[in-house]
Structures are given as structure tokens and as C-alpha cells.
Amino acid sequence: DAKTTQPNSMESNEEEPVHLPCNHSTISGTDYIHWYRQLPSQGPEYVIHGLTSNVNNRMASLAIAEDRKSSTLILHRATLRDAAVYYCIPHGSSNTGKLIFGQGTTLQVKP
């Protein structure tokens, strides 16, 4: 299974952009890069995923390095509701399709 490295915690001010990094240097060429987040006392929630190209959706943007060994989740304007644990997960046939969660990054958003 591909290993990931994320900072344990990050802080942001409300309404400012947040860049959450993830290193996944051992990712397989066919694995997608998924991001999930988990709000307190909730189940994980899908945020975004991509393979090679940068991706945008209503929640966030995903910037994927050209060599695919790292990626960055971008929240364009953090809100208090974005305070959560963010998980970066390589996902694909190389790990039989299962999602493997690491420790994630705990994002604190200050008003």
C-alpha cells in the first residue's frame, strides 16, 4: 500500500485560503489521489479526487504534482465549518481498492 505523509496539524484564519500538503512518493501509477475530511463526531466525508490533472469542485481544489509524488488540497476561503481532520489517500487497484486512512491533518480555523 502506498504510504502518505501529512503534517499533524495546521491553523488558518477564517476566510483565508488553506493549502494542505500530502506526500505520497510511493503511489502506484494507476492510483487516484483521494481526500476525505472528518468533522468532530461525524463519519468521514469525501472532498475531492484526481489522477494527474488538477481538479476543482464546489468544496475545494486539488493540485497534483507533475511526478504525482505529492498533492495539495486547497480550500479557497476557510470557514469555521472547515475545521476537521483531512486525510489524503491513494486509492486504486494497487491496494485492492480499499481506502487506507493515515493520521491526517487536523485543521483549526480561527475566527
Binding site residues, other proteins, CB under 8 A: 30-32, 34, 36, 42-46, 49, 51, 85, 87, 91-93, 96-104
Q: For the CB of residue 15, give the shortest distance to other proteins in the complex, in Å.
A: 27
Q: For the CB of residue 35, give the shortest distance to other proteins in the complex, in Å.
A: 10
Query: Which residue's entry shows cell 487497484?
Result: 93
Q: Report the C-alpha gap between 50 and 87 in whole angstroms.
A: 14
Cβ closest to other proteins, residue 16 vs residue 99: 99
Q: CB-based burial of residue 9 (10 Å sphere; 0-12 exposed, 13-18 middle, 19+ buried)?
A: exposed
Q: For the CB of residue 59, give the shortest distance to other proteins in the complex, in Å.
A: 11
